[in-house]
């Protein structure tokens, strides 16, 4: 039996939470052509699904992808285009790690491979996300989308120094109502000792930018958390409830605002 593409838990509030990069499953046909580091799914958003597992009890809808971002990146647009011109960034079907190591033993995915993966893995997740946003908007008159991510706190190839703990992105204010964003920023500022920035290095990927439409009553916010704020970055398989408590507390404040 094959792995489902995502797990969906429906809530009755206006909030939909997307977790597109916490998956680690790798189909056999792709795994066999990867390098060892590619098969290690090194750039996973480790344990973000666990950070958010409380949210359905508060009424949020939770959509969690199961497959690795190495298969296809659910936070990139099939049509291409840069999120951060002038910066290094990975593609729809990544060919290297954040550190620049190759993911494939031989040739990278062909154009046809990318089309196939888009239809097989990318499209169903986005169909589900669109359906849930439409469902909650029909019920409540608006929809709130929280797109949750994490990344190693230091990735010299992508950014200088250490990333702030909480990186809130709204596509420079275009994806969500400013008053709503201000409440999320206030929650971050109240979550000391966690540090935060709004629209810094990470302003929101294709999900935030593609679905956020304040004029249409859909408000999307991305939160990229530095992994050092909630886990031991040297032991990525281990989840530490004690270390993660401040980040979970912040996310609970966000959910309480957005539901």
| Domain CATH for 120 | 3.40.630.40
pLDDT given at position 163: 98
Residues of the domain holding 158: 6-258
Residue 50 lies in a domain: yes
- Among residues 87, 94, 100, the alpha carbon closest in space to that of 202 is found at 87
φ, ψ of residue 126 to 5 degrees: the values are -70, -30
Residue 47 lies in a domain: yes
Q: Mention every residue, 6+ apart, whose C-beta is less than 8 A from residue 39.
A: 26, 31
Residue 44 lies in a domain: yes
pLDDT given at position 1: 46
Name the DSSP class of 213: B
Pairing of strands 218-226, 6-9: unpaired
pLDDT per residue of the chain (259 residues) written in tens, 0 to 9: 479 999 999 999 999 999 999 999 999 999 999 999 999 999 999 999 999 999 999 999 999 999 999 999 999 999 888 899 888 888 999 999 999 999 999 899 999 999 999 999 999 999 999 999 999 999 999 999 999 999 999 999 999 999 999 999 999 999 999 999 999 999 999 999 999 999 999 999 999 999 999 999 999 999 999 999 999 999 998 998 999 999 999 999 999 999 9
Alpha carbons 19 and 17: distance in angstroms, whole number: 7
Residue 145 lies in a domain: yes
Residue 84 lies in a domain: yes
Radius of gyration, alpha carbons of the chain: 17
pLDDT given at position 203: 97
How many separate domains does the chain show?
A: 1
Cis check for the bond before 236: say yes or no (omega within 30 of 0). Answer: no
- Among residues 155, 154, 37, the alpha carbon closest in space to that of 96 is found at 37
CA 48 to each of CA 2, 45, 52, 251: distance values in angstroms, whole numbers, following the listed order: 23, 6, 6, 11
pLDDT given at position 8: 98
Residue 97 lies in a domain: yes
- Among residues 161, 145, 151, the alpha carbon closest in space to that of 225 is found at 151
Pairing of strands 166-169, 218-226: antiparallel
Residue 34 lies in a domain: yes
Pairing of strands 143-151, 196-198: unpaired
Backbone torsion region of residue 27, taken as left when φ is above 0, otherwise alpha when ψ lies between -120 and 50, otherwise beta: beta
Residue 1 lies in a domain: no
């Amino acid at each position: 039996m094959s792995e489902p593409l995502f797990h969906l838990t429906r809530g009755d509030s206006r909030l939909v939470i997307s977790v597109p990069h916490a998956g680690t499953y790798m189909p056999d046909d792709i795994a066999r052509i990867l390098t060892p580091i590619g098969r290690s799914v090194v750039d996973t958003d480790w344990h973000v699904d666990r950070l958010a597992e409380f949210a359905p009890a508060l009424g949020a809808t939770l959509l969690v992808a199961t497959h690795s971002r190495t298969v296809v990146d659910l936070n990139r647009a099939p049509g291409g285009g840069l999120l951060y011109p002038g910066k290094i960034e990975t593609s729809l079907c990544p060919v290297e790690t954040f550190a620049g190591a190759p993911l494939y033993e031989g040739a990278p995915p062909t154009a046809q491979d990318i089309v196939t993966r888009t239809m097989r893995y990318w499209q169903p997740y986005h169909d589900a996300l669109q359906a849930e946003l439409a469902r909650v908007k029909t019920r409540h008159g608006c929809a709130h989308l929280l797109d949750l991510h994490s990344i190693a706190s230091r990735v010299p190839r992508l950014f200088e120094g250490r990333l702030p703990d909480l990186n809130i992105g709204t596509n420079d204010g275009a994806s969500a109502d400013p008053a709503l964003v201000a409440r999320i920023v206030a929650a971050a500022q109240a979550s000391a000792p966690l540090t935060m920035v709004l629209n810094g290095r990470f302003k929101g990927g294709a999900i935030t930018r593609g679905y956020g439409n304040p004029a249409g009553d859909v408000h999307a916010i991305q939160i990229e958390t530095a992994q050092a704020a909630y886990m031991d970055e040297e032991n990525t398989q281990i989840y530490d409830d004690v270390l993660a408590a401040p980040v979970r507390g912040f996310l609970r404040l966000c959910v309480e605002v957005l539901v």
